[in-house]
Chains A and B, each alone.
Chain A
Amino acid sequence: MFTVDNVSAGTIYEVELVGANQTSVYGQIEMLAPGTEDTMDVILPPGRYSFTCNAFSGALLRSQVEQVTGPRVSGTYSYSPVDAHQLQLATSTYRANVTQWLQRLGSATDALESAVKSGQLAHARQLWLPAHLDYERLGGAYDAFGPFDAEINGTALSLQGGVTSPYFTGFFALEYGLWGGQTTSELSPTAVALDQAVHSLISQFPHLPMPPTDLGLSTYEILEHTLQYEMTGETDEGSNTDLATAWANVEGTQMALTAIEPVLKQSGPGVLARLQQGVDAMAAAFKAYEEPNGTWEPLQSLTTSQHESLDGQLASLLEKLSEVPELLQPVQPATASS
Chain B
Amino acid sequence: MNAPLSRRRLLKLGAVGSGLAAATAGSGLVQLPQALASPVSGQAGTDGPAFADGASEVTMQSAQQASFEGEHQLAVLSEPTPYTAMVAFDVIAETRADLRDLLRALTSRMRLLYKGGLPQDDGPAAPADDNGILGPSVPSRSVAFIFGIGASLFDERFGLISSKPATLITMESFPNDNLDTALCQGDFSVQICANDADTVLHALRDITKHTRGAMQPRWQMNGFKSPPRPAGTPRNLMGFMDGIANPDTSQASAMQQLVWVPEGGPESAWMAGGTFQVVRIIRMFAEFWDRAATYDQENIIGRRKATGAPLDGSNEFSIPDYQSDPQGLITPLTAHIRLANPRTTASAPSRILRRGYNYARGLDVNGQLDQGLLFTCYQQNLLNQFITVQGRLINEPLVDFISPIGGGYFFCPPGLRGDSSAYFGRGLL
Contacts and interface: CB of A to CB of B under 8 A. Distances in A.
A51 B173 contact: no
Nearest to B401: A224
Contact of A35 (B24, B173, B178, B312): B312
| Range for the number of chain B residues in contact with chain A | 35 or more
A333 B33 contact: no
B365 A8 contact: no
Contacts of A99: none
A331 B18 contact: yes
B11 A58 contact: no
B311 interface: yes
B329 A51 contact: no
B36 interface: yes
Interface stretch (B115-123, B257-265, B283-291): B283-291
Contacts of A227: 287, 366, 368
A210 B365 CA distance: 34
B1 A139 contact: yes
Given A11-B34, A211-B9, A331 B21 contact: yes
B25 interface: yes
B30 A33 contact: no
B1 A136 contact: yes
B198 interface: no
Contacts of A307: 366
Contacts of B8: 143, 211, 213-214, 217
Contact of B37 (A63, A225, A308): A63
Contact of B6 (A10, A17, A61, A143): A143
A87 B176 CA distance: 31
B250 interface: no
Interface residues of A, number: 96
Interface stretch (A100-108, A110-118, A229-237): A229-237
A85 B18 CA distance: 8
Contacts of B31: 61, 63-64
A213 B21 CA distance: 21
Interface stretch (A147-155, A273-281, A289-297): A147-155
Nearest to A82: B18
A238 B131 CA distance: 47
A322 interface: yes
A60 B28 CA distance: 12
B2 A1 contact: no
B390 to A, nearest CB: 14
A195 to B, nearest CB: 19
A149 B2 contact: yes
A8 B2 CA distance: 43
Contacts of A4: 35-38
Contacts of A61: 29, 31-35
B13 interface: yes
Contact of B288 (A149, A153, A224, A249): A224
A221 interface: yes
Contacts of A53: 32, 34-35
Nearest to B365: A232
Interface in A219-270: 220-222, 224-225, 227-229, 231-233, 235, 249
Contacts of A332: 12, 18, 21
B176 A158 contact: yes
A17 B37 CA distance: 10
B2 A157 contact: yes
A13 B36 CA distance: 11
A59 B11 CA distance: 16
Contact of B330 (A31, A59, A136, A142): A31
A208 interface: no
Contacts of B13: 56-58, 333, 336, 338
Nearest to B367: A311
B2 A160 contact: no
B178 A157 contact: yes
A60 B35 CA distance: 11
Contacts of B287: 227, 315, 318
A229 B33 contact: no
Contacts of A33: 311-313, 330
B172 interface: yes
Contact of A153 (B1, B9, B39, B178): B1
Given A31-B299, A150-B4, A158-B177, 10 more contacts: A1-B40, A31-B330, A61-B29, A84-B17, A155-B2, A160-B173, A224-B400, A233-B365, A318-B287, A319-B291
Nearest 3 A/B pairs, CB to CB: A336-B14, A334-B20, A322-B291
Interface of B: 1-25, 29-40, 42-44, 172-173, 175-178, 285, 287-288, 291-293, 295-296, 299, 304, 306, 309, 311-314, 324, 329-330, 364-368, 400
Interface of A: 1-8, 10-15, 17, 22, 30-41, 50-53, 56-65, 83-85, 88, 136, 139, 142-143, 149-150, 153-155, 157-160, 211-214, 217, 220-222, 224-225, 227-229, 231-233, 235, 249, 307-308, 311-312, 315, 318-319, 322, 325-326, 330-338
14 contacts: A4-B35, A5-B38, A6-B34, A33-B312, A52-B25, A57-B13, A60-B29, A160-B172, A211-B8, A217-B7, A217-B9, A224-B285, A224-B400, A336-B14
